[in-house]
Each structure stands twice: as C-alpha cells, then as structure tokens.
C-alpha cells in the first residue's frame, strides 16, 4: 500500500532526544543461516548512510535468535551531528519509511525504516530501548543549549582567571624590571664616578710629571708601572660601563617582547571564544524552525560576521608567529650563556644553594625515604622506599620517552597507577611523583625546540622559588659566590 509523503518533522526545544544523538534503523534485511538470523555488518550499513555522516552503525543482536533486524545509528555530539540526524529522519520520512509509517503499517516490505531516537524509544520494552538506556541519556534542545552556555561561561571564567594571573605576572615583571633599572642606574653612576676619579688621578700624575720634568731622571720604573695600571683600570671601567648599558637595553627589549606576546595571546583566546559562540549560534539557527526570510537573513549576517572573525584570526596568528620567531631568536642568543652557567654550577658548590642544577623528572630519593618513615618502621621504610623509588624512576622515564616521541597523550593525575600509589602510600608520596611528572610536562616544549630528550636533562633551578632559574638569577648567584670566596682569601 502506497503511503503519502509528509512534510519533514520539526523539533521543539522541549522535545526529549536520546543523547548523544542516535538514529533507529529497523527492518534491516536478514536471512536464516545455521539456525540463526544473520544480517549486514555495521560498516556496510554505515556506507549506505554515508550522506548523513554517521559515526557508526551498531546492529542489535539477541543471544538466542541472532540479528534482531534493528540497528542503532550514532552521530557526532555537536550541532552538526544533530543536523545530520534530522536530515537522516526527514529523508526516510519523505520516502514513507519514517517512524509513524513503521507503526501504522502491518506489512512493511523490504524497505528499511528509520527515525531519530526520542523519549518513547528510550522508555519502551525493546532491544532498542535497552541499548539506548545503557549507552545514552535523555536531553532536550534547551538542556544542551544551557549546558553549552555553562561550558562557555566556565571557559570565560577560566580565561578571566588566566588574565588576572598574567596581569599579576606582568606587574611582577615590571617591578623586577624597575628594580633592575635602578640597580643598573646606580652601577652606571658608580662607574662614571670611578672613571672620573681615575681620569683626575692620571691628570694629576701628568701635571706632576710636567712640573718635575727637570727631575725626570728620578722617575722610577715603579711609577711608570703605576701609570699603566691606572690606564688599564680606566679602560676596564669604560668597558664595564658599556656592558651595563647593553644589559639594561637587552633587559628592557626582552620585557617589552614578553609583554607584547602575553597581550597577543589574551586577544587571540578571546577571539577564539567569540568564534566558537558565533559558530554555535549559526549551527543552531540553521537547524531550528522559523520564518524563512528572517532565518536566511540572520544566517547570512552570522556567516558574514564569521568570515570577518576568521580573517581577523588569521591576521593575529601571523602577527603571533612573527613575535614568537623574534622571541625564539632572543632565546637562542641566551642559550649559550645558560649552558655555560649549567656547566659552571656543576662545579661551583658541593651542597644545594638557592640556585643550582636539577635534573628534569628525577625523584628525590631522600624525600621518598622520609615519606616511608612516617608510615613504616625504619628498617622496613628503607627497603620499601628503595623499591618504590626504583619503580617510579623507571615509570616516569618511560612516560618521558613517550612524550619525547611526539605523543599527544597526557597522563592524568587520576591515572590508575597514580591513584593506587596515593591509596597505598599516601598523599606525600603521590605529590612527589606528580611533581616530577609536572616538570616533564613543563619542559616538553623546550626539549622539542632543542631536539633533545626530556628525562634527566640538567637545568638551572631556583630551589627557593621551586622553578627554572633565569640567566640573570644564575649570573647574580654566581657573582655572589665568587665575591664570597674572594673575601675569604
């Protein structure tokens, strides 16, 4: 019996759907083989539905009779997936093979019937309903819009916090820059006074020489040496003054570049949030019902605005890449100095001071032992600490090798192995391991840039602030050590 073709179904905001979006496919062709009903594989069915961009088609089976002649069609979770699901339903509805045709006919023929899974499918007593209740939830369009709004709100809140943190960091950098400028200014003033004093002293010697020219035979070799020594001091002071001025200039240039990049990152993140909101609004507008004229006008406005934002994004990305290239060049200039500092610090002190050498990802054996002593007798603690230390050293080294292989996987702090460590040996042991893992994550970009491994790499470390030390901090600390040793001699 021929069925009239109806208008496509229009969904309402409060209509409940199985989510993530699911389609129902029934009357799937099957045949009887070896006492069981068999049908087409999910991949073959998905190929037949390729125009709707289905992620997967899952045939439903009964353990006694085999294929149930029904299947679930999965779509992506986003609004594009919803649009594909509604196109899928409207396509079968227009052919007279929709949901109400399936329920209204006694003889269905060889055609497959299909629709989007809703609340009645979810709550029925069929294999389809059992599968939907196990692998999906019920949600309305309003629910999903609100959820997306909450996610966007959380994203904006997170961005605000990052902006606040970066503002504080910028203030700290500016404070440090001002302090450095004051110190360099004082050093410059002292150098000028020193040069002036040396110049006056040389001038006085020269006047004395002119006054006593008749007694030139009395000038001793020692006086000549003193004059040369004074000249060398003047030249050294002038050189040092130039170095101070150059350091001051480079410090200001580095700070300006850093502030510029930070501001650009904030602008870029805000633009990406705006793009995401516009894209979501466009996708919802395209699939929701409404007057065609106003709807087309709104869609056109949104697409035009999206094109402008994408062009703006491309411009900022090109500017950002240029700044990153300049920053990388500046970093490369400092890299030889950092390497010399690392080599020098390995011989500078025997103990650990405020600034020293740390190897990325390496665990602190003594801290492991102290954590075990809080839970076990001393003899047992030493043995257990040695076993755990060796085990987790190997584990972090393996994870580091995986990251070095350009893996995008991130080891969560709720990882099963880490969770088991926390449950069995406490928060302190867990914190030691996750701290080493954080060091590996944070050093990964630097390692990739230099084409080197991550685990065990020696870096200059500020133990007081518990972070990587700057070249400036390393130089200042080295000078303090040198001055201390000089005073002792």
pLDDT at 333: 55
For residues 219 and 212, what is the distance between their CA atoms, to the nearest angstrom?
Answer: 9
The per-residue b/e assignment along 278-301, b for 16 or more CB within 10 angstroms, e otherwise, is bbbbbbbbebeeeeeeeeeebeee
Residue 449 clears pLDDT 70, i.e. is over it: no
> Using omega within 30 degrees of 0 as the cis cutoff, is the peptide bond preceding 20 cis?
yes
Q: Which two tokens stand for residue 95?
A: 């052919």
The per-residue b/e assignment along 26-38, b for 16 or more CB within 10 angstroms, e otherwise, is bbbebeeeeeeee
For residues 307 and 343, what is the distance between their CA atoms, to the nearest angstrom?
Answer: 52
DSSP 363: -
- Other beta carbons within 10 angstroms of residue 47's beta carbon come to 12
Considering the domain delimited by 16-135, tell me its CATH architecture: 2-Layer Sandwich (3.30)
- pLDDT class for 2, splitting at 50, 70, 90? very low
Tokens 């030390």 correspond to 469
pLDDT at 360: 80
**Whole-number percent of the chain with pLDDT over 70:** 69
Nearest alpha-carbon partner for 322 in 261, 274, 380: 261
Domain ranges of the chain: 16-135, 145-288, 361-456
Q: How confident is the model over 461-471, as pLDDT tens digits? A: 787 877 777 76
Q: Which two tokens stand for residue 476?
A: 């200042």
The alpha carbon torsion through 427, 433, 434, 437 (nearest 10 deg) reads 180
Q: Which two tokens stand for residue 178?
A: 């001002």
User: Do residues 337 and 250 touch, judged by C-beta distance below 8 A?
Assistant: no
**Whole-number percent of the chain with pLDDT over 90:** 15
Residue 379 clears pLDDT 90, i.e. is over it: no
For residues 147 and 355, what is the distance between their CA atoms, to the nearest angstrom?
Answer: 48
- Other beta carbons within 10 angstroms of residue 255's beta carbon come to 16
**E strand or H helix at 98, and its extent?**
none
pLDDT at 57: 93
- pLDDT class for 117, splitting at 50, 70, 90? very high
The gap between the terminal CA atoms of the chain, to the nearest Å, is: 110
Q: Which two tokens stand for residue 325?
A: 């290239």
Coarse DSSP helix, strand, coil percentages of the chain, rounded to the nearest 5 percent: 70, 10, 20
User: Do residues 396 and 457 touch, judged by C-beta distance below 8 A?
Assistant: no
Average pLDDT of span 270-274: 70
Residue 23 clears pLDDT 90, i.e. is over it: yes
Residue 268 clears pLDDT 70, i.e. is over it: no
Q: How confident is the model over 206-240, as pLDDT tens digits? A: 677 667 665 655 556 666 776 676 676 556 555 54
- The maximal CA–CA distance of the chain, rounded, in angstroms, is 137
Least confident of 23-27, 33-37, 448-452: 448-452
pLDDT at 97: 92
Residue 247 clears pLDDT 60, i.e. is over it: no
- Other beta carbons within 10 angstroms of residue 85's beta carbon come to 28
**E strand or H helix at 477, and its extent?**
helix 471-488
- Strands 30-33 and 16-19 turn out to be unpaired
User: Do residues 78 and 53 touch, judged by C-beta distance below 8 A?
Assistant: no
Contacts of 63 (CB under 8 A, 6+ apart): none
pLDDT at 409: 58
Distance of CA 393 to the CA centre of its chain: 24
For residues 486 and 489, what is the distance between their CA atoms, to the nearest angstrom?
Answer: 5
- pLDDT class for 487, splitting at 50, 70, 90? low
Torsion sign (Cα): 366, 369, 373, 375: positive
DSSP 124: S
For residues 281 and 294, what is the distance between their CA atoms, to the nearest angstrom?
Answer: 15
Residue 246 clears pLDDT 50, i.e. is over it: yes
DSSP 118: B
- DSSP 3-state of 69: strand
Contacts of 338 (CB under 8 A, 6+ apart): 460, 471, 474
pLDDT at 286: 65
Tokens 């390393």 correspond to 474
**Helix residue ranges, H only, 212-291:** 221-287
**E strand or H helix at 106, and its extent?**
none
Choose from 84-88, 360-364, 393-397, 401-405 the range with maximum mean pLDDT: 84-88
């Amino acid at each position: 019996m021929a069925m009239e073709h109806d208008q496509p179904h229009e969904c309402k905001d409060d209509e409940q759907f199985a989510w993530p979006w699911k389609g129902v496919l029934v009357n799937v062709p099957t045949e009887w083989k070896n006492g069981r009903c068999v049908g087409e594989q999910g991949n073959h069915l998905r190929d037949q539905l390729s125009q709707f961009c289905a992620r997967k088609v899952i045939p439903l089976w009964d353990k006694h009779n085999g294929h149930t002649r029904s299947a679930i069609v999965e779509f992506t979770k986003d609004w594009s997936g919803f649009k594909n699901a509604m196109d899928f339903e409207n396509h079968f509805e227009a052919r007279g093979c929709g949901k109400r045709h399936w329920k209204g006919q006694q003889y269905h023929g060889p055609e497959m019937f299909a629709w989007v899974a809703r609340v009645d499918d979810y709550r029925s007593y069929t294999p389809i309903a059992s599968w939907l209740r196990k692998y999906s939830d019920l949600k309305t369009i309003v629910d999903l819009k609100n959820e997306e709004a909450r996610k966007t709100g959380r994203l904006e809140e997170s961005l605000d916090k990052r902006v606040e943190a970066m503002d504080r960091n910028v203030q700290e950098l500016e404070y440090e820059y001002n302090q450095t400028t004051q110190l360099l200014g004082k050093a410059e003033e002292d150098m000028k006074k020193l040069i002036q004093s040396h110049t006056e002293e040389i001038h006085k010697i020269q006047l004395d020489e002119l006054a006593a020219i008749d007694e030139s035979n009395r000038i001793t070799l020692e006086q000549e040496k003193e004059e040369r020594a004074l000249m060398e001091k003047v030249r050294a002071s002038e050189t040092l003054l130039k170095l101070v001025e150059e350091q001051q200039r480079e410090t200001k240039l580095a700070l300006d570049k850093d502030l510029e990049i930070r501001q650009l990152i904030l602008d870029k993140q805000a633009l990406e949030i705006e793009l995401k909101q516009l894209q979501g609004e466009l996708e919802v507008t395209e699939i929701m019902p409404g007057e065609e004229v106003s709807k087309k006008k709104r869609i056109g406005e949104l697409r035009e605005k999206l094109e402008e934002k994408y062009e703006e994004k491309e411009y900022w990305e090109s500017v950002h890449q240029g700044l990153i290239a300049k920053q990388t060049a500046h970093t490369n200039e400092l890299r030889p100095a950092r390497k010399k500092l690392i080599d020098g610090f390995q011989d500078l002190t025997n103990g650990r001071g405020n600034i020293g050498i740390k190897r990325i990802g390496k665990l602190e054996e003594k801290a492991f032992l102290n954590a075990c002593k809080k839970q076990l007798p001393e003899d047992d603690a030493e043995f257990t600490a040695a076993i755990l230390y060796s085990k987790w050293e190997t584990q972090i080294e393996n994870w580091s090798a995986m990251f070095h292989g350009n893996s995008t996987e991130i080891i969560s702090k709720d990882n099963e192995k880490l969770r088991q460590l926390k449950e069995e040996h406490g928060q302190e042991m867990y914190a030691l391991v996750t701290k080493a893992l954080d060091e590996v994550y944070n050093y990964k970009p630097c390692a990739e840039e230099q084409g080197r491994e991550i685990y065990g790499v020696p870096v200059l470390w500020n133990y007081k602030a518990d972070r990587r030390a700057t070249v400036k901090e390393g130089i200042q600390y080295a000078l303090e050590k040198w001055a201390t040793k000089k005073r002792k001699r």
